[in-house]
């Protein structure tokens, strides 16, 4: 056995070693935190000890070559740069901006670390994320009167009264536990409270709508978003964020079955079958070397290189940078909104929707054809890392067709709904009633929210199941027939 062989073994095995073996210096403050929290919350301390934050100081991070840097700040304050990014570094950061700061054993700490705190080292990522729809996911949902009616119907505790249904407004807990779990809650300081702890009675600030890790969380410091939605506490690893299971937390349901589609695609198969040989931690992330099939992050977020140092895709935290179409129909698929804050969008019918009920996009709030072409080109460049131009063009031609046909099927459902409203078998817009709360109306919603979306995601990512029998074209057609049958059988005037 030669030494050369042993070297290979060593290199191959090291990524199994906890990074903690090569820990950076700890600040005195963080050491103080750890003194208690190793006992009080051992799980997160252990998790953090396995993190890059625990093992590489900002100064070391800054010293890396440009393309290998994970820090986008050009400089870091001296008091922060030399030691590990530990408890104190984040939970005392920007204390003056935090209404949720409180005295904790002599330190002014805050519970809710926000994107503004992370931005001290990662300002470009924060900036990009602020232009990402996800950062506005809370307001875009709860400040849109149309969606608000949907939430009421879903979350409200309804009351059956004979053959009538009386709606009640949903409570804050239920909203936080359902829609806002992904969209993000509004976290506010609501007072103080004394709690019994392992270290005796201690005072804390009470927070509303807590806990929450939603992508559009409104933080006490006024910032929006939570980096920990995707970079899970307290390891904050790029590896986790690059794995599709992270995206699946919010993008797996029938409304947005992205992960399900991915899991039956060739890409998803290769990932599940072969990723034991991949390196999810490399920056830049090299196609054909570090990975051999894309995950969500490959196409939508990560810095992708080839092995010759050529850039296939820039890192971005505005996830729609390479997305011309928003295939998530509202109710029709449409060009992506220009602004991340979509609450200003209003259609000709006065509804806060990016398309008319007839399907026409509300153009002035949406990106134009030139921008769509630019984004499509950026996406195709990623695909071209493995596929020929012909292959890629053929793929996207099908997606275009799928957008067209699913929008058509949504229009047909809308025609039935209009008839139902006219005939009085349901009450909606013409009657100035909630258009989302009766049986046939909920079927209309599923036509685009479940079946239109599923079909388009299947086209976009090559997961045909979800475009056919699994909530795809089959379901669109069957649902249309159900709506027609309702139109034929439901009595009018009984609401």
Does position 438 interact with its own copies (CB under 8 A)? The reply is yes
For residues 106 and 162, which CB has a smaller minimum distance to its own copies in the complex?
A: 162
473 binds its own copies (CB under 8 A): yes
Contacts with its own copies in 28-67 (CB under 8 A)?
38-47, 49-50
Name which of 124 and 167 has its Cβ closer to its own copies: 167
Tell me which of 32, 72, 81, 292 binds its own copies, using CB under 8 A.
Answer: 292
- State in angstroms the smallest separation of the CB of 16 from its own copies: 5
> Is residue 447 part of the contact set for its own copies (CB under 8 A)?
no
Closest approach, Cβ 29 to its own copies, in A, equals 18
CB of 491 to its own copies, least distance (A): 6
Binding of its own copies by 356 (CB under 8 A): no
Site string for its own copies, 202-231 (x = CB under 8 A): --x-xx--xx-x------------------
Specify the residue, 131 or 233, whose C-beta has the smaller distance to its own copies: 233
Pick the binder of its own copies from 83, 219, 223, 265 (CB under 8 A): 265
Which position among 62, 95, 146, 248 is part of the footprint of its own copies (CB under 8 A)?
A: 248
How big is the site for its own copies, counted in residues (CB under 8 A)?
Answer: 146
x/- mask, its own copies, residues 176-205, rule CB under 8 A, reads: xxxx-xx----------x-xxx------x-
Among 97, 356, 371, 482, binds its own copies (CB under 8 A): 482
| List 22, 68, 289, 377, residue binding its own copies (CB under 8 A) | 289
User: Which residue, 65 or 195, has its beta carbon nearer to its own copies?
Assistant: 195
Please select the residue that binds its own copies; options are 412, 424, 429, 433, rule is CB under 8 A. 412
CB of 359 to its own copies, least distance (A): 13
For the bound state, the minimum distance from the C-beta of residue 120 to its own copies, rounded and expressed in Å, comes to 23
Question: Is residue 339 a contact point for its own copies (CB under 8 A)?
Answer: no
454 binds its own copies (CB under 8 A): no
Interface with its own copies (CB under 8 A), residue from 74, 79, 370, 489: 489
Per CB under 8 A, which of residues 65..94 are in contact with its own copies?
none
- What's the burial of 22, exposed, middle or buried (CB within 10 Å: 0-12/13-18/19+)? exposed
Q: How far is the CB of 236 from its own copies (least distance, A)?
A: 12
């Amino acid at each position: 056995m030669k030494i050369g062989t042993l070297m290979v073994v060593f290199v191959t095995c090291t990524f199994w070693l906890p990074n903690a073996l090569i820990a950076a210096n700890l600040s005195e403050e963080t050491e103080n935190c750890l003194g208690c929290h190793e006992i009080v919350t051992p799980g997160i301390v252990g998790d953090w000890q396995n993190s890059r934050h625990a093992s590489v100081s900002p100064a070391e991070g800054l010293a890396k070559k440009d393309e290998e840097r994970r820090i986008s700040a050009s400089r870091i304050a001296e008091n922060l740069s030399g030691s590990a990014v530990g408890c104190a570094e984040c939970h005392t950061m920007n204390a003056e901006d935090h209404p949720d700061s409180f005295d904790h054993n002599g330190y002014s700490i805050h519970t809710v670390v926000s994107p503004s705190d992370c931005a001290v080292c990662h300002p470009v990522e924060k900036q990009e994320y602020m232009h990402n729809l996800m950062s506005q996911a809370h307001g875009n949902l709860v400040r849109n009167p149309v969606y608000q009616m949907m939430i009421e119907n879903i979350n409200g505790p309804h009351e059956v009264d004979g053959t009538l249904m009386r709606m009640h407004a949903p409570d804050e807990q239920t909203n936080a536990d359902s829609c806002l779990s992904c969209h993000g809650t509004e976290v506010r300081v609501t007072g103080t409270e004394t709690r019994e702890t392992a270290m005796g009675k201690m005072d804390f600030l009470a927070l509303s709508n807590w806990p929450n890790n939603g992508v559009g969380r409104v933080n006490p410091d006024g910032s929006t978003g939570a980096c920990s939605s995707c970079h899970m506490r307290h390891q904050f690893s790029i590896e986790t964020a690059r794995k599709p299971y992270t995206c699946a937390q919010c993008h797996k349901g029938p409304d947005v079955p992205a992960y399900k589609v991915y899991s039956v695609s060739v890409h998803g198969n290769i990932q599940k079958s072969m990723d034991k040989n991949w390196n999810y931690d490399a920056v830049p992330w090299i196609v054909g070397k570090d990975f051999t099939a894309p995950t969500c992050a490959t196409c939508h977020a990560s810095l992708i290189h080839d092995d010759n140092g050529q850039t296939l895709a820039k890192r971005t935290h505005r996830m729609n940078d390479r997305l011309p179409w928003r295939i998530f129909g509202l109710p029709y698929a449409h060009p992506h909104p220009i602004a991340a804050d979509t609450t200003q969008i209003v259609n000709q019918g006065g509804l806060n929707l990016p398309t008319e009920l007839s399907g026409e996009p509300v153009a002035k709030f949406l990106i134009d054809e030139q921008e769509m072409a630019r984004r499509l080109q950026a996406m195709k460049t990623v695909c071209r890392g493995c596929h020929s131009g012909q292959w890629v063009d053929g793929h996207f031609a099908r997606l275009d067709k799928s957008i067209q046909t699913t929008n058509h099927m949504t229009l047909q459902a809308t025609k039935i709904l209009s008839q139902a409203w006219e005939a009085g078998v349901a009450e909606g817009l013409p009657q100035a009633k909630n258009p989302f709360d009766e049986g046939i109306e909920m079927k209309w919603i599923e036509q685009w929210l479940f079946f239109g979306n599923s079909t388009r995601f299947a086209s976009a990512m090559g997961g045909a199941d979800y475009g056919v029998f699994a909530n795809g074209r089959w379901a669109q057609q069957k649902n249309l027939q159900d709506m027609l049958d309702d139109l034929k059988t439901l009595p009018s005037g009984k609401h």
